[in-house]
Amino acid sequence: MSALTATAEERRDTSVRPAYRVTGRRVLSSEWAKLWSLRSTWITLGLGLLFLVAFGLISASRYESGINSGHMDRDFADATAVSLSLFGTNFAQLALGVLGVLVTAGEYSTGMIRSTFAAVPRRLPVLWSKAAVFGLVALAVGTLGGFVAFLIGSGIVSGTPAAMSLSHAGVLRSLLGAGLYLGLVGVIGTALGALLRSVAGGISVLVAALMLIPGLISLLPSSWQDDISPYLPSNAGEAMFALTHDSTTLSPGAGLLVFLCWTSLALGGAAYRLVRSDV
């Protein structure tokens, strides 16, 4: 009787046990929780926001002091409130891109990725969720930092030739473009971390793509520079939020399209390795 009773209880427990399914919403929720559980997330996002705002205000203050003293630096001669406020974008992109690498490569270094793939055997939803979650966070931080830097910086340069307001043509587009650029940089960092599975390797490739390669291209003949330079990731991204353009730069729409192609290439490479590798 006891054996029969035990069997009946086991069947009853099994029948009422809820069946959990792996859904896109649950994978997104899991990646969101993992992102904010790390101390490095808060620190690095704070640094990215600090770089964007602080360098923007420093450049605006330097421009204002140059105007008042009558000794304006050549680099600031044609500056606007937008270009001064977004001066810290190049520094913020490193912080957000590095954190993107850590989001994926960090799990490989700790071995936690095995538990993640055990919970989500199809694997690709993990990559899409990580890229989407961190990309949106980086977009929010970049947009917030850009608007804060502009609103404060425009007050600093008020009454100077660089003075602008949100109602000026192209200002809103530039600020939103800077936020979108930083969000996509975060996605590229996430993809590089998944592709290379190494924190050091992912950061090295990210820095090379955004900062070192443009410097090397400048050593090429000028005719080659004009053909290659506009399509580099950093230059195409800069075209997304630049207020003015000339014949050597892409339009905002073309810059966005080119940068989306670079982002898709990184994500495609990461997805291919993810489905082709054992871990």
> For residue 31, which amino acid is it?
E
Whole-prediction pTM = 0.89
Top-confidence residue, 234 or 17: 234
Domain ranges in the chain are 21-276
- Percent above pLDDT 70 for the chain: 91
Top-confidence residue, 74 or 194: 194
Nearest to 67 by CA among 2, 136, 156: 156
Q: Looking at the predicted structure, is the pLDDT value of residue 156 above 60?
A: yes
Top-confidence residue, 199 or 68: 199
Can you give the pLDDT at residue 279?
64
